[in-house]
Amino acid sequence: MSQFALLGSRRFAPFFWTQALGAFNDNAFRNAMVMLVAFQMGLGERTVALYTNLAPALFILPFFLFSATAGQLAEKYEKTRIIRWVKLFEIGAMLLAAVGFHTHHTGLLLAVLFMMGLHSTTFGPIKYAILPQALRPEELVGGNGLVEMGTQLAMLVGMIAGNSLMLIAGAGPLAASAATIAVAVAGYLASRRIPPAPATAPDLRFNWNPLGETARVLAITRADRAVFNAVLGISWFWFFGTVLVAQLPLYTQYALGGDGSVNTLVLTLFSIGTGAGALLCERLSGRRVEIGLVPLGAFGLTAFGVDLYLARHGAAAAHGLDWLAFLRAPGSWRVALDLTLIGVFAGFYVVPLFAFVQARAPREKLSRIIAGNNILNALLIVLAAGFGLGLGALGLDAPRIFLAAALLNVAVAAYIFTLVPEFIMRFITWVLVNTLYRVRADGLGRIPEEGPALLVCNHVSFMDPLLLMACVRRPVRFVMYYRIFNIPLLRFVFRTAKAIPIAGQKEDPAVLQRAYDAVDAALADGELVCIFPEGGLTRDGAVAPFRPGVLRILERRPVPVVPMALRGLWGSMWSRRDDMLRRARLPRRFRARVELVADPPVPPAQVRLDALEARVRMLRGELA
């Protein structure tokens, strides 16, 4: 089922429209206010500069002050009820904004801007924490992609609408007020259709001290290193995006020679690119949380950020171009492509990170972890503003600031991926599997979503663990022959995935015993463990007799057993053949069509070795 089917589902669609309408109003109001202050109130240049610089600070201040409190609310109380109160608060804020627009009362408008920041602060932890409650695990990446796409486009349309409505001669304040109030009401009506989302920690003791709770929320966010580094990655995305968007007006004017329509065009290209990248994540990841896309996204941000500098880094030869004249100018399509692809790779970067946090974080702490993420996002946005202003004060123009951010992205990505090698491991796995094979999975929803289980699968090629790793949604601990474990390059992948090397009794009994102990410990911790009970690669493509290691594992730790089978691998890259030695080990097939199928779990008390082997043979297609 396509992710777009979620837009017709009540468990997702009302929430999608509620959050998109809220993102629209945030940006429509902010831009309308800036247009009013800058162009229609007759204020001096210094006064205008004061207000336009104060506005972003007032909007972001509530994220520092109240994110931790918002995270507690989202954990302790039913989320849909909070959403409805937040949308009623938005209606009230927009009514006050209408008064401010009509009376040109800048103090009131700045107060409303703070209120809208509070609105977004409260909604933020709910926005991402509600998705795992509403969506199935295989829908999580697609749902996040739709939310990111909807947010980007709503922000873009909101900015354009806020600017355009306020500039309507003689009716700007009235038009902007009517639009923002109508959108707020529509958002509330959409929120009435969101299904209930029960509290995940109803017994949580509420801490009203924002400073103490902020410290506690950040400690919770740091507790899991992989989750925390994913949060750092998300915050870096906001840093990079803030630097890029903040420099676009100057870049448009001085490097591209464009007018306001060109600024709108480049914003549109970046937003559409980000939305497209977000939507592509589901297809590229096979509907699983695939953090292997994150290094790909980081590479694209740097590559096309550098190319954006190379494409146009001097003063424009002509000025005052509209968007059509700009596109007709030499070299402009390269700039347009770079901006779009920066957006696409930003989508590859951020959507898997959000899905990873949602999938990995404990459900009863997820809202507070999202709150911690929002605090760090706000901090990085402030640092991004300082970064841009500082480099500008040193004499760097917009293209050179783009280049600095793109190169800094290399250092940040290397830092994050060094701390959590799982990102690079997943990237290598994703590249190898998608380069060498075309994989179709069937029945993997039968694998338990929680708790321990033992996966048993036939063993056809050296790539079998990577294929399973790429298809199974939960992390899997693989038991593998120690010589396969030590294959160059793949050794890094297997060690990072915490694979368990094993040897035969006659080869190394100590390694064998350590393997059984590690399997038992993993199952005791509620993990998935996969073994290849044939004891080695098939020599003729058929399933070899199973060895009794499965029974030995179940004697120590009775857990469900999931029979699985790989089809189509024999004769493909990295598989063994009966005539390999005579044919210089050349593989027969590249980009082989491969299938991975799974049967329902077998209770441990019902597991018999011969029946398990027969089941895998049947899945493999060897038995009628």
Three-state SS for 385-396 is: HHHHHHHHHCCC
- For the cut 60, the answer to whether the pLDDT of residue 589 exceeds it is no
Q: 343 is written with which tokens?
A: 């957006």
- For the cut 50, the answer to whether the pLDDT of residue 561 exceeds it is yes
Domains and CATH numbers, the chain: 1-206 (1.20.1250.20), 224-419 (1.20.1250.20), 432-620 (3.40.1130.10)
- For the cut 80, the answer to whether the pLDDT of residue 122 exceeds it is yes
State the average pLDDT over residues 343-349. 93
Residue 339: pLDDT band with limits 50, 70, 90 = very high
Task: Pick the range with the lowest mean pLDDT from 391-400, 583-592, 595-604.
Answer: 583-592
- For the cut 90, the answer to whether the pLDDT of residue 508 exceeds it is no
Residue 574: pLDDT band with limits 50, 70, 90 = low
Q: 603 is written with which tokens?
A: 């209770």
Shortest CA distance to 237 belongs to which of 386, 354, 64?
A: 354
How many angstroms separate the Cα of 429 from the Cα of each of 72, 291, 317, 465, 466?
38, 10, 47, 10, 6
Q: Give the pLDDT score at 56.
A: 79
Q: Which residue has the tokens 């899997």?
A: 476
Pairing of strands 476-481, 500-502: parallel
Please tell me the distance from the alpha carbon of residue 319 to that of residue 256, in angstroms, as a whole number.
8
Mean pLDDT of the chain: 86
pLDDT tens digit string along 408-426? 999 988 888 877 777 888 8
The SS3 of residue 456 is: strand
Q: Give the pLDDT score at 48.
A: 64
State the average pLDDT over residues 168-175. 87
Q: Give the pLDDT score at 206.
A: 81
pLDDT tens digit string along 138-164? 788 888 889 989 998 999 899 889 888
The SS3 of residue 439 is: strand
Q: Give the pLDDT score at 415.
A: 85
Q: Residue 200 phi/psi, 5° resolution?
A: -95, -15
- For the cut 80, the answer to whether the pLDDT of residue 77 exceeds it is yes
pLDDT tens digit string along 22-72? 999 999 998 888 888 766 666 666 676 666 667 778 888 898 888 988 889
Q: Give the pLDDT score at 416.
A: 81
Q: Give the pLDDT score at 18.
A: 95
Q: Give the pLDDT score at 134.
A: 86
Pairing of strands 592-598, 561-567: antiparallel
Q: Give the pLDDT score at 590.
A: 62
- For the cut 80, the answer to whether the pLDDT of residue 231 exceeds it is yes
Shortest CA distance to 410 belongs to which of 266, 306, 564?
A: 306
How many angstroms separate the Cα of 448 from the Cα of each of 438, 559, 566?
25, 11, 19
Q: Give the pLDDT score at 182.
A: 96
Shortest CA distance to 345 belongs to which of 356, 333, 335, 337?
A: 337
pLDDT tens digit string along 286-331? 667 777 888 989 999 999 999 999 998 877 777 888 889 888 888 8
Mean pLDDT is highest, among 171-185, 196-210, 454-468, for: 171-185
